[in-house]
């Protein structure tokens, strides 16, 4: 039976502080007016000091080590990244990762153009590959920001990280019960409203719960994007979610908003601290201007 497990992540090796970014206060006020940064809760962020590929290779090695899967046994490699980071990867990124990680028997693919929601769509894609016969699928979500000044975005402070998991027909783990993905063009062009953001979230969530045959009240914990805490809570309320179900604050304090890696990092943080309850239903979700994606993950009995 197909399972999702062996989660791992690698953050940037250097630690930065918001106040060390040149002109930080002005940058924050420009993109998040009337929002006190202190309420964000981010004390530090991580940044990569070298080329991206070694960080990805390190993450892949961690994903494969726990279940003892050899690199040559991996059938598929699925990368996921945000639109801005896509152009930074380089045309040969897949070959470079495969060569360095020993993934010489797999077929690579990349999922993007859905901002920080791309990794959840990549999870669905990887799950479908396993259902179609792939033995081992490695999913890697990655985002990085080379210029520190570009880290300051609307209600977010970006950090660098790579996170991944194994989708396997031979190793147990979480079951993907249902997914949802919806788009709002107004949000893509910066003209979204509270109503449009609420609608896109509820559309995606409705898709996931309908496919899973479950109800929102069945969810034990939500692993969401690491955004400005008051906004994250408000967005949850708008989507009909209890603020207390969200798990993101502590990782965001250390790492900032790591884009597509957020929900994976937050899931791992919760698992390390609390553990996953057998038979419980969990929700991974991501939001970005113009998009909302979610995945219902069920822990096996």
| pLDDT for residue 172 | 78
Percent of the chain with pLDDT over 70: 100
Spatial distance between the Cα atoms of 4 and 15, rounded to a whole number of angstroms: 30
Helices within the chain (DSSP H only):
24-31, 52-65, 83-86, 93-101, 118-131, 185-188, 194-212, 229-238, 249-255, 262-273
Percent of the chain with pLDDT over 90: 91
| pLDDT for residue 7 | 98
| Domain boundaries along the sequence of the chain | 3-168, 175-298
Rounded to the nearest 10°, the torsion over CA 28, 34, 40, 46 is -10
Higher pLDDT pick, 249 / 194: 249
* CATH, domain 175-298, list 3.40.47.10, 3.40.50.1820, 3.30.1600.10, 3.40.120.10: 3.40.47.10
Rounded to the nearest 10°, the torsion over CA 289, 149, 88, 286 is -30
Tell me which residue of 259, 284, 282, 275 sits closest to 140, measured CA to CA.
259
| pLDDT for residue 41 | 87
pLDDT band with cut points at 50, 70 and 90 for residue 121: very high
**Averaged confidence pLDDT in the chain:** 96
| pLDDT for residue 241 | 94
* Residue range 1-28, pLDDT digits in tens: 899 999 999 999 999 999 999 999 999 9
* Residue range 205-221, pLDDT digits in tens: 999 999 999 999 999 99
pLDDT at 272 over 70: yes
Spatial distance between the Cα atoms of 61 and 14, rounded to a whole number of angstroms: 21
H/E run at residue 287? strand 281-288
Spatial distance between the Cα atoms of 106 and 9, rounded to a whole number of angstroms: 21
Tokens of 12: 């940037």
* Residue range 86-114, pLDDT digits in tens: 999 999 999 999 999 999 999 999 999 99
| pLDDT for residue 238 | 84
For 3-168, give the CATH class. Answer: alpha beta
pLDDT at 242 over 90: yes
pLDDT at 178 over 90: yes
| pLDDT for residue 301 | 67
């Amino acid at each position: 039976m197909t399972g999702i497990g062996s989660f791992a992540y690698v953050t940037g090796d250097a630690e930065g502080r918001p106040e060390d970014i040149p002109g930080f206060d002005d940058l924050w006020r420009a993109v998040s007016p009337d929002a006190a940064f202190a309420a964000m809760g981010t004390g530090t962020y991580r940044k990569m000091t070298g080329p991206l590929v070694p960080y990805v290779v390190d993450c892949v090695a961690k994903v494969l080590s726990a279940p003892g899967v050899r690199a040559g046994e991996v059938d598929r490699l699925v990368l996921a990244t945000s639109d801005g980071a896509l152009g930074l990867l380089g045309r040969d990124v897949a070959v470079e990762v495969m060569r360095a990680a020993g993934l010489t028997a797999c077929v690579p693919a990349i999922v993007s153009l859905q901002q920080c929601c791309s990794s959840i769509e990549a999870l669905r894609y990887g799950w479908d590959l396993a259902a179609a016969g792939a033995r081992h699928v490695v999913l890697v979500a990655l985002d990085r920001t080379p210029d520190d000044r570009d880290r300051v975005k609307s209600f977010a402070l970006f950090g660098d990280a790579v996170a991944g998991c194994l989708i396997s027909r031979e190793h147990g783990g979480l079951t993907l019960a249902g997914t949802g993905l919806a788009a709002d063009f107004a949000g893509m062009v910066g003209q979204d409203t509270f109503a449009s953001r609420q609608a896109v979230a509820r559309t995606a969530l409705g898709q996931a719960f309908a496919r899973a045959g479950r109800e929102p009240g069945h969810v034990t914990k939500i692993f969401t994007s690491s955004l400005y805490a008051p906004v994250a809570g408000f967005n949850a309320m708008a989507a009909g979610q209890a603020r207390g179900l969200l798990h993101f604050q502590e990782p965001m304090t250390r790492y900032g908003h790591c884009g597509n890696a957020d929900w994976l990092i937050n899931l791992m943080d919760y698992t390390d601290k609390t553990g996953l309850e057998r038979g419980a239903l969990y929700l991974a979700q991501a939001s970005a201007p113009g998009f909302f994606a979610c995945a219902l993950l069920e822990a096996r009995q």
